[in-house]
Amino acid sequence: MSSNIRNFCIIAHIDHGKSTLADRLLEHTGTVSNRDMKEQLLDDLELERSRGITIKARAVTMRFKRNGTDYELNLIDTPGHVDFHYEVSRSLACCEGVLLLVDAFQGVEAQTVANAFAAMEHNLKIIPVINKIDLTHARPEEVAEEMMNSLGTDPDECVRVSAKTGQGVDELIDCIIEHIPTPTGDPAATLQAMVFDSNYDDFRGAITYVRIMNGTVCKGQKIRFLKAGSVHEVVELGRFAPQRQPCDQLKAGQVGYLICNIKSLGDVHIGDTISIPGDKHAPALPGYSRPKRMVYCGLFPSDGQDFTELRDALERLSINDPSFEFEPETSEALGFGFRCGFLGLLHMEIIQQRLENESDIDLVQTAPNVTYEIINKRGETISIHKPQDVPDPGDIEEFRQPIVRCNIIVPNDYIGAVMKLCQERRGIQQTQEYLGAQRAMLGYNIPLAEVVYDLHDKIKSCTRGYGTLDYEMVGFEPADLCRLDIVVNGSRVDALSIVCHRADADRRGRAVVKRLKLEIERHMFEVAVQAAVGSRVIARETVPAMRKNVTAKCYGGDITRKRKLLQKQKEGKKRMKAIGNVEISQKAFMAVLSDSEG
């Protein structure tokens, strides 16, 4: 019965205890035996366990008996980092309620506010939960007041729990059953299901994770993916408990998975609607808005022969994570590869590590950059995803950079340090609100390029770890930007080009050419390493030539013979410089790229 089903997810800031609370819920409902229990059970990616963070949302079905009634609790555990907010938004579309988790010591943080507003936009029932009440320095009363001031929650409704010890978890389960609405949907209606996630299995093909909105799906039934237009037969279906557990049917309100032996990766789209074949299918669901890619970089196989393997690995990964995109590109320096778009720097790092770990491919990554807009002399607006695409300065009417609204929550003692940091990053202050006696939320409009690299780390440093950051895209604004080119021996190295503010170009150009001078191996001729903006060279270093001692065989005698040999060597080096190619090793690229990020 759908009246006994509760669909909910846990949302919170990083490290506020989402995965640990999910462990306790699995334990208290008897879904996992004590023998199989381990910490962060739902974080099953190797990368999640090694880093101690949730990267992918995970669904699990729990059975719970209360007053003689069997309840089905469908939980979706979500990530907390700002880069994975898209995973959270997908999970919210499949639920009727959320547990808004807040640390009893750290209180309301930047992502807490962002996730709470996202839940309100979906009109979900919010149950405020204060976690870690077992800490000696916990301050649940003050945190409840902070939640009331910033989110408008009632302090009396806050459920106090300790996910570590299990204290208060039984009361939380009762609260979930009483307050989270039952799913609306008719099991007898035409099948209508939303694909909220998917995974690729080498033996079973694409495995789609679905929430059934209306109707019933059975094993052996024919289904149609409305966006792809493809028809498949359901070979296996089931629920997550927490591993895949086959069953015969899934009804309206339930969450589970479908296996249809789909080998073509283009048939599965996250946000797609599943219905019946023919003209009488259910209308398509709204799905999800396209994620905004914030950061772009090039990924190239370190061995050029691995291009096909890299393409296959990216296609498999895009089924599981649709929030990054990729397209082929060619670089004179690095060969064939892909230009990839990500939600942020952590997301980029995670994708790169997953490719290396799961597909065993060695990658070279170019310097990350954000998307810019250019209005040319003809009035056309061009999106720039890589510095090489920036036209000549004479063809640019207006150069625009992406601006993000940053909400930074800091203790009052560190407001001055954070304001100074934001002003150095060309930020413009918009708001300043006090959440309580000790903490404030600052709102700044800052260029995205100044945010994605290391602003979060700098805020943590200057607030001794207590400051938190959340940001969202505002739009594009005109700025004094330029393309900084690195020229080696008269040839532009496309992989090292960057877009930066004109005031920073000299400093960054000098830093890169100094680094390259140390990394480029010496050749038989001297090599000029230059940084240029347009046709103007702003920095230069020279890699000296290797010199063979051609006069070593001359023992005394006429000086003219030595001069003739030296002149001959000089002419040879001049000819070599004109036709010679400078080899830049992979090590030099990696050193310069990692340096330019800083």
Please state the residue numbers annotated as binding site for GTP.
15-20, 131-134
- How far is residue 511's CA from residue 581's CA, in Å, rounded to a whole number? 24
Encoded tokens for 567 = 């002149």
Q: What one-character-per-residue DSSP string does 82-99 give?
A: GGGHHHHHHHHTT-SEEE
B/e letters for 291-329, b = 16+ CB within 10 Å, e = fewer, are bebbbbbbbbbeeeebbeebbebbebbbbbbbbbbbeeb
Vertex 493 angle, CA 492 and 499, to 5°: 90
* Helix/strand/coil for 598: coil
CA dist., res. 498 & res. 494, Å (int): 9
Q: Give the C-alpha separation, 387 to 442, whole Å.
A: 32
> What is the identity of the amino acid at 449?
A
Residue 548 burial by CB count (10 A; 0-12/13-18/19+): exposed, middle or buried? exposed
Residue 537, judged by CB atoms within 10 A of its CB (0-12, 13-18, 19+), counts as: middle
Distances (CA, A) of 117 to 142, 292, 439, 496: 21, 18, 20, 40
Q: Note every long-range contact of 485-488, with CB atoms under 8 Å and residues 24 or more positions apart, other chains counting.
A: 485/531, 485/532, 485/533, 486/512, 486/513, 486/516, 486/529, 486/530, 486/531, 486/532, 487/528, 487/529, 487/530, 487/531, 487/532, 487/537, 488/516, 488/520, 488/527, 488/528, 488/529, 488/530, 488/582, 488/584
Binding positions are: 15-20, 131-134
Q: Which of 78, 46, 45 is closest to 60 using CA atoms?
A: 78
Give the DSSP letter of residue 479. Answer: -
